[in-house]
């Protein structure tokens, strides 16, 4: 899956501010890990399992916009 910065930017422009704050938190966490903090082996295993599951069942994925809509409904 090749995602460009332009595609990410377009999606972010459409998000409400409270969703942008959540996304920013994810970006911060990712950048902290990229700066040399080790990801525990158990987390790497879970991510690898989920990626493999997705690759075997790509139609099972839910669009992030749908996830946010569901979260907003529930909370």
Same domain as 44, residue 27: no
The band of 60, judged by pLDDT with boundaries at 50, 70 and 90, is confident
The band of 34, judged by pLDDT with boundaries at 50, 70 and 90, is low
Return the DSSP state at 71: H
Domain containing residue 14: 1-37
Number of domains composing the chain: 2
Same domain as 47, residue 21: no
pTM: 0.41
Give the whole-angstrom CA distance, residue 69 versus residue 15: 11
Check if the beta carbon of residue 60 is closer than 8 Å to that of residue 53.
Answer: yes
Same domain as 5, residue 20: yes
Same domain as 57, residue 26: no
Same domain as 33, residue 2: yes
The band of 9, judged by pLDDT with boundaries at 50, 70 and 90, is confident
Give the whole-angstrom CA distance, residue 14 versus residue 19: 10
């Amino acid at each position: 899956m090749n995602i460009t910065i332009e595609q990410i930017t377009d999606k972010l422009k459409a998000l409400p501010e409270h969703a942008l704050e959540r996304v920013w938190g994810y970006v911060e966490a990712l950048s902290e890990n990229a700066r040399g903090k080790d990801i525990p082996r158990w987390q790497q295993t879970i991510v690898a399992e989920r990626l493999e599951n997705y690759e075997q069942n790509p139609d099972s994925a839910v669009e992030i916009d749908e996830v946010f809509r569901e979260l907003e409904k529930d909370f």
